[in-house]
Structure 1
Amino acid sequence: MASKSVAAEPSGTTTAASRSHTKKLAELTCEKIEMKIIEMNWPVGEVIGSEADLLAEYGVSRAALREAIRLLEHHNVAYMRRGPGGGLVVAEPDPDAMAHAAAVYLRYRKVTPKALFEARTALEVAAVRSACEHIDEDGIRKLRAALEHEAQFVGGESDATIHDFHTVVAELSGNPALHLFVNVLTQLSAAGFLGATAMFDKKAARSVQASHQVEEVHRTHEAIADAIIAGDAGLAQHRTVRHLNALASALEE
């Protein structure tokens, strides 16, 4: 009896399946390493294993491990240091990069000015209250430095860094979550006023607002800062809400 012939697989099928398998293994390995770093309490600068150590620990191919490391580097979680004493080093995540990625996603979701400023108001009211409670001499210096920076725009055009006052206040809250999310929403607001360029290069985007509007924003920021420095949470919150309402109205025009 003649044996049945076996149809040959289409060229490239095995390779494509292999690549898909490697990618899935890489993603799982990346997640495992991230979890390990979290469980180690994120020891920035510490080497957690050489390539050989990691291959043995996770039992994956060199290709899958290197793809996992590429993902870790992209996420700003860890990076591979070559040479003697090298290995996978725990990195300090970049909050600006994370905020930018979230802002891009919300831009993709076409978040409306109304939704944007509803979220901003809730977050910034909380941030201002906490900043009033935690303000110290270092915080006062940061506020004044932000105001001095934006003062250079009075009488002319501004760039997107005029919005940084809000992220400084959020930083002074002492709450990393508030700081991150206010940063995200402030980037989106800047893009709404100055165009998408503001999300990628704050200094390249120039204001189309009249000089008196820039001056008004600066005066308002000064008033909010004065209330925070005085520790008057109620007044600082009131001024912040009024300011955000004005910005929301201007963005919707």
Structure 2
Amino acid sequence: MASKPLSSPPSWAAVPNATLSGGIVAQIRAAVLNREIVAGQFLGSEAALSEQFGVSRMAARDALRTLEGLGIVEIRMGARGGVWVAQGNPDRLADALAIHLKLIGITSGEVFDAQMAIEEMAARLAAERRDEADLEHLRAVLAELSSLKSELDRFADASMRFHEAIVRASHSRILLAQFHALSFVLEPVLRPNLTSASAVRIVRHHKLLLEAIESGDGAQAARLMQERLAYQRARTLSQETDPASRAD
């Protein structure tokens, strides 16, 4: 994607000495959220920005490093060097969200609650918005899943890809990013509890879910997704408190 020139730069406010780089970060972050600046837009050189903000080059450099670390700006070298507003990266968003969920000590129950909200809506939207390419992909993953009931590691991967395919069929980028983040957290919890018996039940359920999406029945797709995830949630949390039990 071609970079966009800065046609009308925001009027940056001088930063008080007490806040320095933090003030620059706050202003640029707010400008992105307010759409005063957009992805691919050139903001200027480090020297020009330090002058505009009324701070030293060192303070500007510290701020830009922070913004770069947050994925808000891209710092380029060479003839077209300078500071540019970064392009969005859903994968980076999902990875960062998953890490921070773990760092704040999110529980499995909380993750399941969020997953249920996301995937129920995704199933409903998939039934309403799916196109033939989406359906072909879902059918292919389900066929693969059906052939892997005796290979549990590969089955677990395929089952997660089936859920991902449903979320993709919703054509909602924000649901997909959230799904990826939660799947990073849940996958290590779910995989050890998978059994051959549960694999058979999962395939049976996924077939019903695909039928609902194919027929365009959003309410039925959402209901089936809710039933499966609620059951999975209850069994997984039971396994955490009673390791003798087996989730399915």
What TM bracket, shorter-length normalisation?
A: 0.7 to 0.9
The residue aligned with 2:167 is: 170
Point out where structure 2 has 5 or more consecutive residues left out of the alignment.
1-15, 240-248
Would the alpha carbon gap of residues 56 and 193 (structure 1) be closer, same or farther in structure 2, given more than 3 Å must change?
A: same
- Secondary structure at the residue paired with 2:55? coil
After superposition, what is the alpha-carbon deviation per residue over 1:195-253, rounded to whole angstroms, capped at 9, x for unaligned?
Answer: xxxxxxxxxxxx56334434543443343233212211122122211210231133122
2:192 pairs with 1:233: no
The one-letter amino acid of 1:244's match is L
1:91-116 deviations in whole A, cap 9, x for unaligned? Answer: 22322332233233333444333333
**C-alpha separation in 2, matches of 1:168 and 1:42:** 33
Structure 1 length-normalised TM: 0.72
Q: Tell me the TM-score normalized by structure 2.
A: 0.74
Would the aligned equivalents of 1:128 and 1:228 in 2 still touch at CA under 8 Å? yes
Task: State the partner residue of 1:55.
Answer: 50
Residue of structure 2 equivalent to 1:248: 233
Using the alignment, how far apart are the partners of 1:71 and 1:152 within structure 2? Answer: 48
In the alignment, the residues of structure 2 paired with residue 37 and residue 97 of structure 1 have an alpha-carbon distance, to the nearest angstrom, of 17
Structure 1 runs not aligned, ≥5 long: 1-20, 195-206
How high is the sequence identity, in percent, across the aligned residues? 27
Take 1:244 and 1:23, find their aligned partners in 2: how far apart are those partners?
Answer: 50
Alignment of 1:108-187 (within 5 A): 108-144=103-139, 146-147=141-142, 150=145, 153-158=148-153, 161=157, 162-187=159-184
1:48 alignment partner, SS class: strand
2-structure distance, mates of 1:41, 1:151: 50
Question: What letter corresponds to residue 183 of structure 2 in structure 1?
Answer: T
Task: Map Cα deviations across residues 39-58 of structure 1 (whole Å, 9 max, x no partner).
Answer: 44664333221222212222
Q: In the comparison of the two structures, how many residue pairs are matched?
A: 221
**Are 1:210 and 2:195 counterparts?**
yes
Decide whether aligned partners of structure 1 residues 84 and 168 sit closer, same or farther in structure 2, where only a CA change above 3 A counts.
same
Say which one has the larger Rg: 1
Deviates more, 1:213-222 or 1:241-250: 213-222
